[in-house]
Structure 1
Amino acid sequence: MSQEARSFVGSTNVLKAIKHLVENPVFDVVNYYRSNNKINAAGDALELFVKDIFAGILDNQNEDEKLATYERVYSYFGNASNPPDLMIIGGDAIEVKKLISDSASIALNSSYPSAKLFSDSLMITKTCRICEVWSERDLIYAIGSVNQEKLSSLWLVYGDCYAASREVYEKIKQKIAKGVSEIQGVEFSATKELGRVNKVDPLGITNLRIRGMWQIDHPRKVYQYLNIPDQRNAALKVFALMREEKYLSFPFEDRRWLETAETSNLTIADVKIKSPDNPVKRIPAKLISFQI
């Protein structure tokens, strides 16, 4: 890692991203990027928006400067087939998901929900695995609702508030694979997905891929028991949810800014959320809300 890159390790986080958004509010995210010839599809705007708020460059339209900042802040940009979409140098990983409404379930396709991102995951690319020296990362799900080409809400939820431990999902995968493999007359092969049945037809030229199509409920539904205040007339609603210990791990100056910001649009609440591994237990957490 270069000396320049080292100077940016830990330089951005979810609190800095919220601060940047508060100071540089964008009310119409899709048209904002479309007017600068950055996108064709509305979904592209969401990923660019998330990328820019974490990089702190919503107010910069110089393409060369933006690319240089991305290089200093991020170690990896992903693709549609493999998580994550972004990795901050020395910081969190981010997975961006676009929906049409807050009531829709989130399609995760072949990747089950993740409390953390692990370097030994079969779902990540080799490039992601070697972009830094790492074994485990905290993971943020950035879930945006884009309706009629406008971003109406954005949830930034940490995976360990949202998803169970990975052995819960791996157990299901293994049970399904085992069940298929035990069917008489079926030639089964293990794959990165759920598996593959080989030579289905008499000629032995057809194979059946078995894929998981995972989905998870929207945070608005998952955390409805928190009675989150909803400003119905707000053009954009941003919520961030993290464990209290995660919040306290961020630099003091970042926490202090949010806690003392003089705007009624920004609130920070102490809440208790159900443990994803054991719902009878409740976990101290922080819920940050910014509605404009």
Structure 2
Amino acid sequence: MLEGEIIAQSVKDFFTKPMLKIAVVPLLLTLIIMLSLFYLAAGYGFDSLQIYIQQTQNGQDVFVDEQAPFYFVWMTTLMAFLFKYSITSWLVGFLVYTVGTLFIMMFSVFTTVIIIGFLTPMILGILHQRHYQELPINGFGTMMTPLFIAVKSFLIMIGLFFLFIPLYFIPLVNILAINFPFYYFFHKMLNHDVASTILTDEQYAIIHHKKANAFRFRTLFLYFLSLIPSLMLFTAVFFVIYLGHAYFLELRSLNKKENNSKLIEQDLEN
């Protein structure tokens, strides 16, 4: 099946009643989480942070309310230190305006990716019943594997984010430097959720060895789609469907090759 046909079939499956019902879940949960965090921060007051920064720049002592949320205390203390010096003050200002807006957008993407991970078996189960009933589903990993992958991918993403800081000041290159860590996390989480639900460890190793770049291009395509504001909230289920079709087709091809090999061996024995 051509890539365009896979996409077309994925769109058709997405607009079926069962899939649209599931699509509402990540949308609602992500919105609830984001609104809760926003009102929590707004309740304490973003204006307080601006006051603390101004006090630091004027050489005044900064006092942080002990009743403030822990993340606000940590952020205020860090800001107070950085804004003491003109060089770091300019650097922080640049990062806040360039990376800050991206962080808000990407936070919704990451939240949706994590939520959709819990719905992946249900989505792929429906896909399996509709198109691939002849194929056995034998997932690999344990209950703790997704958590391990999430923590590992997140830490590597943070490391890449800091490693690429010098590149953020180079025009055009900074676009790639900022997005690569985010894409790494996106790819690892989405690809693992789908592959580990459908394939065995051995099947995944075979397919990954031959088709790793093909799936990287697929997740890259999906990552670009996720950068469209709010689109990720509605289409996360489509992402799983699309990768699910790709892995199911690879599994079907792999099974055919294995069956053909067994038939050849039987003919030789006879």
**TM > 0.5 between the two?**
no
Q: TM-score range by the shorter chain?
A: under 0.3
Which of structures 1 and 2 has the bigger CA Rg? 2
Task: Kindly indicate whether structure 1 or structure 2 has the higher relative contact order, using CA contacts under 8 Å at least 6 residues apart.
Answer: 2
Q: Which has the higher strand share?
A: 1
What TM-score comes out, normalization by structure 1 length?
A: 0.21
